[in-house]
Amino acid sequence: MIAGYRLLGRLGAGGMGVVYLGRTDNGELAAVKVTHADQADQPDFRARFRREVEAARRVVSPWAVPVTGADPDAPEPWMATAFVPGPSLGEAVAAHGPLPERSVRVLGAAVARALAAVHAAGLVHRDVKPGNVLLAVDGPRLIDFGIARATGETALTATDMVVGTPGFLAPEQAEARVDAIGPAADVFALGCLLAYAATGRPPFGTGAVDALMYRTVHDEPDLGGVPDGLLDLLRACLAKDPAVRPAAERVAAGLVEDTPGGAADWLPAPVVRTIAERSARMLALPEIDATTAGLAPAATAPSRRRFLT
């Protein structure tokens, strides 16, 4: 148990800790991030975790996953967010291929609105990528504020450190120009995300990190296969100069055709089936034994994909 959350199983793990599937006494599901025990006593680590909690709580948007509970001062700091049973955009594209234009438009408009809320809160997300966008029947959700920071803030970030995911970061991030990283960097990453959703590949290719960084800074994006109706907007998002990129609100206005209202028709049928299958698995949760935070997982512990699919 963590506070009022019964831990049902591991969803995954990252540099800051382990993410569990949790459930409250009234049946609400949550993704509960618990920090690694050996890191919790490090002042810088605890400060970064506290900053993540504060950043996530400042963002209010139907398209961003909300915080449902947290305790950065606990012996093992933890944070819970609403659980979304759908796959990430990266998982969906890998399994089912690129999304059709209407899906990309709805996806982009919703994520752009989430980013507008991030920027209105005085924050920069800094890691907009396919793994940080979850797909649900009523629209996508932006997640993970682990490296978000306040606009103009440089504390806890080395001036020569590249922060973000190569292939989905802006030129100013690739060159570690900390003072230049602002909301426009998130818009560039959103352009990369939508190009990936529409074509199934990142616009600056794949491969060695150094090559990705170089292409991001110096080369034009590969937008072959992007529908004509999206090209102009994506080119604007992917401008090398942050000053000429549109704001997130303008991106949303340029993409919106309609907004999902609980129906799943914004997504291709195979993706909808994946969401339905994962949601159906939740019905079996009462039969799952509770997991205790801090215990080492067994060698055969399921991955997030196996656990949910």
Phi, psi at residue 242, to the nearest 5°?
Answer: -60, -30
Fold of 89-255: Transferase(Phosphotransferase); domain 1 (1.10.510)
Residue 52 has phi, psi (to 5 degrees) of -60, -45
The neighbour count for residue 289, using CB atoms within 10 Å, is 8
Q: Taking the model in full, what pTM does it have?
A: 0.84
**Ordered DSSP codes for 9-21:** EEEEE-SSEEEEE
Residues 244-301 pLDDT 10s: 999 999 999 999 765 555 566 899 999 999 999 988 877 666 544 444 454 444 333 4
- Which residues are CB-contacts of 14 (< 8 A; sequence separation ≥ 6)? 146
Crossing angle of helices 89-96 and 269-281, rounded to 10°: 120
What class, spelled out in words, does domain 6-84+277-293 have in CATH? Answer: alpha beta
Known active-site residue 160: no
Which residue is catalytic, options 25, 73, 127, 232? 127
What's the helix, strand, coil split of the chain in %, to 5? Answer: 40, 15, 45
What are the domain boundaries of the chain? 6-84+277-293, 89-255
pLDDT, tens digit (0-9, with 9 covering 90-100), for 72-115? 888 888 999 999 989 999 999 999 999 999 999 999 999 999 99
Q: Which residue has the higher pLDDT, 176 or 249?
A: 249
According to DSSP, the residues that pair with 18 across neighbouring strands are 13, 34
Phi, psi of 44 (to 5 degrees): -65, -40
